[in-house]
Structure 1
Amino acid sequence: MESMRKIKTSWDLYVEEELPKLESRNMFLPIRPMNISIAGQEEGDQTHLVEDEYKTYQGIQPWNRLAAQVMLPQIFFQRLMDGFELTSKIEREEHEIISSNQEKQFKKLALFAGNDFLGLSRHPTIATAMAKAAMENGTGPRGSPLVCGHTYYHRALESALANLKKKEACLVFTSGFGANMAVMVAIGSIVPVICEGEGRRPTKEEKVAIFSDALNHASIVDGLKLAEQQGGVQLTNCKNKRKVVVTDSLFSMDGDIAPMGELAQLRKKHGFLWVLDDAHGTFVWGKNGGGLAEEFNSEYDVDLCVGTLSKAASSLGGFVACSKIWKQWIQSRGRSFIFSTVAPIPLAAASHASVVVAKKESWRRREIRKRMKEFHALTGIPARTGFYCVAVGPPVVPPNTARIRVTLTAVQTSEDIKRLAALISKHVKFQAPSNIDNSNYTSARL
């Protein structure tokens, strides 16, 4: 396929050369593709997920609005209004009340605090795909992907994600956190595995130097700790032959977008492996929903693209889109993949439907852009990325940097934005709206 440009980098060649060493030491772990018996079908019949059979819609439907609403128990809502949420005593008392069904009154609110960016959580096509898979295959997982859990549904999901990201292959995880952990550990294990096979310790120059943005997601930070990688050296001064740069594409707490163009140029200059966590950009940015790499025409510059299915896809899980060689290395060395149970088939089926629907219903991406422009016009805040409407404090963010984050979605209306802006204006002095073009993607903090 022309979209999957097979231009091997020095990193690809390096991993390709080292992979046989895993096999020679019985450390390569292959994924075993399997099919399962389907209720109502004869043995030998194959499952087929036909993308053209997924029904899509144009424009907001009545059921879409349910994805932009939330119901809170009245007692909890009142405590929020009174400022008594953050005490353990209140939480214990409330749990007892709700568990005993004493609370029957609920307050309906417009939701600006979720990650359902495209509003797909109430999409009937996705629900139907999940229900059909459950009726035919049951609900429970079968085991780990390396033992007996990698079914046709999981392979179809991986293929759809690889095509979306313009990569040769894809590996699906049960969480985005696990995907980042596996990537970091797998990268960090390359040199130790080689040197152990040769009966020696790696030299300082042989070690992989990993450069990570200070604001990267906690899963990247924790993965680097497991990989025993430490910072302290600038990219231009690094003497290590093998270098890696890992960054979020969209930093969810500050709302900033990574300098994609500049990173692509640095990659050409320094030859590093580029790992991009596109959790908040996948399905939302780019013509086809390919994320910020597609938006900035740098899909072929990114080597490993990590994403999540629990945000814009309104499902659960994570993935790594990469080359076939890298997929084999990660599945053999990424501990969070090796030792995790596979996602249940109905969830894999729902995720596959979400990928297809998100790509085809491009109007959802346009609606998000409209909400951003309206929010900016009313508040002066250049909302080019996500916000969140619940107070966020430590340990999620560093001490003394607590903020309010507002999440805009495709199924909110102009009236929702006006009401939100009017409410916030009672507590925040808005700046005058400025004229910003589509090339400026940086947002301001409230």
Structure 2
Amino acid sequence: MMTCNRCAVLQGEGEKAARLSSLFSTLRFRLGKSRLISVSLSPRQPMALWDQWVEAALVKLASKNLLRSTRPISLTPAAAVHFSADEVETFDGPRQWDRSSVEVEMDERTFREWLSELPDPGGESIAKDENVSRKLLLFSGNDYLGLSSHPAVRKAAAKAAQEHGMGPRGSALICGYSNYHMLLEASLAELKNKEDCLLCPTGFAANVAFMSALGSICSLLAVGGRPSEDQKIAIFSDALNHASIIDGIRLVERQQEAEVFVYRHRDMVHLNALLSCCKMAKKVVITDSLFSMDGDFAPISDLVELRKKHGFLLAIDDAHSTLVCGENGGGLLEVYGCESDVDICIGTLSKAVGCLGGFVACSNKWKQLIQSRGRSFIFSTSLPVPIVAASHASLVVARKEKWRRTAIWSRVDDFNALTRLNITSPIISLVIGSEKAALCASRHMLESGFHITAIRPPTVPPNSCRLRITLSAAHTFEDIKKLVAALSLWFVFPAADQNAQIAPKL
């Protein structure tokens, strides 16, 4: 349980990265629904204008007969599709099948081909045996809770496939939306504490759908369909936001519906300055909650305070925090108890959920707008029914098997204890620098039995190449010990009396 002192620290303004790092290793999901931050705006403040703009856009769409809605097809009698949590088999601890999500094999030919792409730093070569496969520990996936291999998830997918095949193949607005999809949306809305939810084919598509729907507000409300400069939307985006956010913003920008302002990574002083100088009425701030390449968290409390001050629409991509953070797996917003202070929550089913797909948790009005104007939603085939059924089962398992969240954060603690670093999430970013050095480090880890890839441009900026390591609830303490031992041959970890920094052995 958390202490009063830690709560007091979290409630403070202007949290810096170092302080957040030291707190998250102990607080994390345990904070749960604690209302550490509760900020609401008076209807007289600018935030209320966004409701008016969305409503006006919906009226305009309706007047043009462009308002769209999904109509679920009942693949079985609706009463039969209830996904009772009591029928989902769960366990009170790890089982042998959990290892299948972190233990993989690679045939010798593939192994050699991968090595041939990586520079050889010298040393002894590994004996070649074409008749064996390589066993590797997987430290590069996003299956944070190890749910992709859970029996309940497998059974749900198999049962749906046997009964319905892949389900109707079409976009959600035509025939691809079923009672399975509708029930999963309801469960995700409940998880994120939102009024409604819209399923999308991928997390990438979810971000693009939201951004394209957002931009359409300007065109719908503008006289003649072309917004003037002061009618455009001002979008403020973190410098390290995911590529799907960036591509969505570019789409809106290309339609001349927005002006884009990029603020320095996690720099709330810079963001506040940009907001203060902007005279445009329609302001939006969008950020990842947990940044996938750096493993650090967005300063949610500061963003909520800035929202109170400036009245912008706040959109959070909670892809890497969903099911990982929060007592119930609701993500970083649940940790801070500020779900009502975030207008749009975007997520994915391909990471901790262990399946495939994306979603936008929002109000019912925003859902209507996105499903009517979100291009990547409208023009994509909906998720196959077995994937939807498996995703729902995964949500049930994650809610009941809370030990999985305990396990993944225990692995974070283990890594910190063995390296004397202070990582704050299951994403470990070991920045090396040059591309060649990062590739050599990746080769070393591969030869040592670890599936860890080098992250290079354009994913990260030049000269910031790195090894990106991800931890899972399926990993054990012994796995972490072996990982650190292999890393220690390439990296110099700090001594007990030194700052938490690493240096590659170049």
Pair in the same fold by TM > 0.5: yes
Tell me, in whole angstroms, the C-alpha distance in 2 between the residues paired with 1:32 and 1:362.
35
2:445 paired with 1:418: no
Following TM superposition, by how much is the alpha carbon of 1:190 offset from its aligned partner in structure 2, in angstroms?
A: 0.4
Following TM superposition, by how much is the alpha carbon of 1:35 offset from its aligned partner in structure 2, in angstroms?
A: 0.9
Aligned to 1:201: 226
Tell me, in whole angstroms, the C-alpha distance in 1 between the residues paired with 2:503 and 2:235.
29
Cα distance 1:265–1:56, how it changes in 2: closer, same or farther (>3 A)? same
Following TM superposition, by how much is the alpha carbon of 1:231 offset from its aligned partner in structure 2, in angstroms?
A: 2.8
Aligned to 2:134: 107
Structure that is richer in helix per residue: 2
Once the two structures are superposed, residues 6-59 of structure 1 have per-residue CA deviations (whole angstroms, 9 ceiling, x without a partner) of 9975122321233111100111111112212x4xxxx78743322221111111
Aligned to 1:306: 346
2:367 paired with 1:327: yes
Q: Secondary structure at the match of 2:161?
A: helix
Cα distance 1:398–1:143, how it changes in 2: closer, same or farther (>3 A)? same
Following TM superposition, by how much is the alpha carbon of 1:75 offset from its aligned partner in structure 2, in angstroms?
A: 2.9
> What is the aligned counterpart of 1:226 among 226, 240, 251?
251
Q: Does the CA contact (< 8 Å) of 1:254 and 1:443 recur in 2? A: no
Once the two structures are superposed, residues 58-94 of structure 1 have per-residue CA deviations (whole angstroms, 9 ceiling, x without a partner) of 11111111111111112333454xx42259xxxxxxx
Matched residues, number: 415
**Alignment map for 1:359-370 (pairs within 5 Å):** 359-370=399-410
Q: What runs of 5+ residues in structure 1 fail to find an aligned partner?
A: 88-101, 437-441
Tell me, in whole angstroms, the C-alpha distance in 1 between the residues paired with 2:143 and 2:53.
39
RMSD between superposed Cα atoms in Å: 2.5
Name which of structure 1's ranges 229-238 and 16-25 shifts more when overlaid on structure 2.
229-238
Q: Which runs of 4+ in 1 moved over 3 A?
A: 5-9, 43-46, 432-436, 442-446
Tell me, in whole angstroms, the C-alpha distance in 1 between the residues paired with 2:279 and 2:497.
44
Once the two structures are superposed, residues 137-182 of structure 1 have per-residue CA deviations (whole angstroms, 9 ceiling, x without a partner) of 1124431110111111001110000000000000001100000001
Following TM superposition, by how much is the alpha carbon of 1:271 offset from its aligned partner in structure 2, in angstroms?
A: 0.6
Q: Does the CA contact (< 8 Å) of 1:74 and 1:106 recur in 2? A: yes
Cα distance 1:288–1:232, how it changes in 2: closer, same or farther (>3 A)? closer
> What is the aligned counterpart of 2:109 among 44, 52, 75?
75
Q: Does the CA contact (< 8 Å) of 2:66 and 2:372 recur in 1? A: yes
Q: Secondary structure at the match of 1:307?
A: strand
Counterpart residue type for residue 211 of structure 2: M
Following TM superposition, by how much is the alpha carbon of 1:199 offset from its aligned partner in structure 2, in angstroms?
A: 2.3
Tell me, in whole angstroms, the C-alpha distance in 2 between the residues paired with 1:266 and 1:200.
31
Following TM superposition, by how much is the alpha carbon of 1:433 offset from its aligned partner in structure 2, in angstroms?
A: 5.4
Q: Does the CA contact (< 8 Å) of 1:384 and 1:443 recur in 2? A: no
Q: Secondary structure at the match of 2:148?
A: coil
Q: Secondary structure at the match of 1:357?
A: helix
Tell me, in whole angstroms, the C-alpha distance in 2 between the residues paired with 1:107 and 1:174.
33
Q: Does the CA contact (< 8 Å) of 2:234 and 2:261 recur in 1? A: no
2:197 paired with 1:173: no
Following TM superposition, by how much is the alpha carbon of 1:213 offset from its aligned partner in structure 2, in angstroms?
A: 0.6
Cα distance 1:46–1:443, how it changes in 2: closer, same or farther (>3 A)? farther
Q: Secondary structure at the match of 1:64?
A: helix
Aligned to 2:428: 387
Counterpart residue type for residue 247 of structure 2: D
Tell me, in whole angstroms, the C-alpha distance in 2 between the residues paired with 1:45 and 1:370.
40
Q: Secondary structure at the match of 2:340?
A: coil
Tell me, in whole angstroms, the C-alpha distance in 2 between the residues paired with 1:6 and 1:35.
39
Counterpart residue type for residue 428 of structure 2: F
Cα distance 1:164–1:211, how it changes in 2: closer, same or farther (>3 A)? same
**Alignment map for 1:7-46 (pairs within 5 Å):** 9-10=47-48, 11-36=50-75, 38=76, 46=80
Cα distance 1:328–1:219, how it changes in 2: closer, same or farther (>3 A)? same
Following TM superposition, by how much is the alpha carbon of 1:444 offset from its aligned partner in structure 2, in angstroms?
A: 8.1
Name which of structure 1's ranges 43-52 and 310-319 shifts more when overlaid on structure 2.
43-52
Cα distance 1:271–1:112, how it changes in 2: closer, same or farther (>3 A)? same
Tell me, in whole angstroms, the C-alpha distance in 2 between the residues paired with 1:185 and 1:103.
51
Q: Does the CA contact (< 8 Å) of 1:382 and 1:444 recur in 2? A: no
Q: Does the CA contact (< 8 Å) of 1:254 and 1:444 recur in 2? A: no
Tell me, in whole angstroms, the C-alpha distance in 1 between the residues paired with 2:320 and 2:365.
26
2:240 paired with 1:215: yes
> What is the aligned counterpart of 2:99 among 54, 65, 71?
65
For normalisation by structure 1, the TM-score amounts to 0.88
Q: Secondary structure at the match of 1:387?
A: strand
